[in-house]
Structures are given as structure tokens and as C-alpha cells.
Amino acid sequence: MEKAKKIKLFIGLFYLIAVSIFLIFFFSKFSLQEVTSYEFIKNNRDYFFELRQSNFILIAILFVVFTIIWVLAAGFGSPVAIFAGFIFGKWFGVIFLIIGLSIGATGLYIFANYFLKDLVKDKFLNKFQNLEYKFKKSEFYYLLIYRFIGGIPFAISNVLPCMFNVRALNFFWATAIGMTPQLFLVCSIGEGLEKIIDENLEAPSILSLISSPDIYLPLIFFFSLVLVSIFIRKFFYK
């Protein structure tokens, strides 16, 4: 039994090392600042739109698959969320994004629950022990709140519930529903960015960006959501 645990832990640690190597390689070849720059986005905008219009369903499927792989490999989804709104608009973008992020997050949870549970418990159980009773009392309800309030890096938030051995199906639906409000607002910002790029030949100033209703309205709602989340978080983690 002890040997089996060690093998599982070894596989889990190997995955973490492989992910770390992937991220080092990825960001050594592709600068996040470069691929998110105004020039890069504007220069490749028409290409992305042509791909979308040529075969919408295929591009949507490829985007979902890419999102799943990205979450499993990188563990975070912010750049993908803005890209979804930029390419597909806020409505289709949030649908494809939720599908990809939920499947990827659930896959990461299942992996951690099988291979990294003992390690996660050793590192985090004392800090989050007060949540154990809550998850046992109403697993889906508290998972839903847990996903809604955030406050923990996305990659870590995907593995912490393995301390409480929650069901994968509950994890999937709580992730999909709980993260919808914040993802919709981020996709709205991505859609607003596309409109601004369409209207400006040169890179607009920060002031011009945030003064656009397509940007500042989603931002206002987003920060309002953050404030509500912070308020709920104080009671949730007690």
C-alpha cells in the first residue's frame, strides 16, 4: 500500500515537473507581452476572423480542445478568456470557454485526486480544515460558492477539493455554473477590445481604452463582482 502511494506521488510530481518545463519552454519562445500586444492582436485579427468564418464549428471545437490542453498544461485561463470574447463575442465565447475550462479543470482535479491527494493534504489540510465539514454537509452548494468567490490561483483551486474527495461530476457543474459570471464579464472585455481595434489604426491610450463603454462597463461589473466575492469569502473560509 505504501509503495502504491509512492508511485502515485512520483507520477504526480513528474506531471508537475513536466508542466514546469513546458511553461519555461513556452514563455522562452513566446513572450506573453508580445502575443498580447496591440500590434500582434491587430495584425492577426483578420486571420483569426477568416478562420472563424470559414468553418465556425471546427474553430469552436479546436478552441475548446486548446482551452482544455492549456488548463491542463498551464493551469490558468485569463488570456484564453479574453481571446474567447475577442474571436467569438461574449455570448458564444463564454459558452466555448466554460466548456473548455470546466473539462480541463475537472481533468486536473481527477488527476490530483488520484496522484496528489496525500501531498495536497499534507500541505493544505490544516489551513482549510474548517471547510471539510461544509463540503460534507452540502458538497455541491459549497463547491458552487467556492468557484464563485475565487481568491485562489486557478491551478491551485482545481486541486484543493481533492482533500475532501468531492465527486467529479459535482466539481464539473459547480465550476461551469460558479465561474460563469466572471467569465462572461472577461469575454465582454474581449469583445469590447475587438471593437476598439476595429475603430483605431494606432494603439489607443489606456485612458481611451477604459473610457470606452465596451470596456469600462464590464470592468465596473467585474470589480463589483470581486467586492461581493471578497465579502462572501470572509464568511466562507471561517
pLDDT digits (tens, 9 = 90+) for 206-224: 666 667 777 778 778 878 8
What pLDDT score was predicted for residue 101? 92
Element (H, E) at 222: helix 213-236
What pLDDT score was predicted for residue 171? 93
What pLDDT score was predicted for residue 7? 64
- Bigger pLDDT: 2 or 166? 166
Element (H, E) at 166: none
Average pLDDT of the residues in 144-166 = 82
Average pLDDT of the residues in 122-132 = 78
Range among 47-56, 113-122, 180-189, 195-204 with highest mean pLDDT value:
180-189
What pLDDT score was predicted for residue 95? 94
pLDDT digits (tens, 9 = 90+) for 7-39: 666 666 666 676 667 666 665 665 555 655 666
Whole-number CA gyration radius for the chain: 19
What pLDDT score was predicted for residue 20? 66
- Bigger pLDDT: 231 or 234? 231
CA–CA gap between residue 174 and residue 151 (Å, rounded): 16
pLDDT surpasses 80 at 68 = yes
pTM: 0.82
Classify the C-alpha dihedral 212-214-217-221 as positive or negative.
negative
Q: At what angle do helices 180-199 and 168-178 cross, to 10 degrees?
A: 40
Residue bearing cell 501531498? 119
Q: Are the C-beta atoms of 160 and 120 separated by less than 8 Å?
A: yes
- Please give the single-letter amino acid code of residue 69: I
CA–CA gap between residue 208 and residue 185 (Å, rounded): 19
What pLDDT score was predicted for residue 106? 93
